[in-house]
Amino acid sequence: MSHPVLDVTLIGFGAIGRSIFQRLAGATHTRIAHIVVSPARVAALQAELGHAVQVSDQVPANSRLVLECAGHSALTQHVVPALARGIECAVLSVGALSEAGLPEQLAQAAEQGQTQVHLLSGAIGGIDAIAAARLGGLTEVIYTGRKPPSGWRGTPAEQVVNLDTLTEPAVILQASAREAARLYPKNANVAATVSLAGLGLDATQVRLIADPGVTENIHDIVARGAFGDMHLTLRGKPLADNPKTSALTVLSALRFLHNRSAAVTV
């Protein structure tokens, strides 16, 4: 049985979108057919990419599958209307769902359009295990994000500790995932994804740590429940052309697209 080519509409063409586009060049079962960017970027990007892909500032009505990698504002501007029109969507900016009312808005739009919205695991692993464990009863989920002090510049951490003189690890926040996402929106995606898979934004505990002894971004998840205990630590390498983004984020999107056309999915 041969699978038809899956045409994908990509929202956003920053480091993540560009990397996904480049990695799918030459793929047999999946192609980026449309790219959605801001009106000011349409003409230049169309000229750069040529006629193999259609660039516009809106999701085309004939889209079959939308992949969002543009940031939080794209969810309300593009994803919600696409879902309401019956277009299936996959979302990488999961941290946006810490905004009050937005998860319900996405769900209502998907129900209205009789379609689905997929929240991709992005920079973290173990989401399948947490989501499965929730069905049997979870009692505790704790997410700890650890970065070198330089990784917290330009955030409220600067009011908590002196990032320039730290000699020992310092906890800069201990709160719910919702509060963590509100105060540290650029670090919200992982905590929000872990929360939405498990106990929710208010019951998931988050610790954020500035650690002068590390050079990587380290994600640590502890989950406990009827299934047993899980402890996962991930030291993510950054995307080559965007050090603030995990390479695994791009790979999780590619895995999702691969599974849409593969004969065997894992």
Catalytic residue annotation: 219
- Is the distance from CB of 230 to CB of 223 less than 8 angstroms? yes
- Residue 237: exposed, middle, or buried by beta-carbon count in 10 A (0-12, 13-18, 19+)? exposed
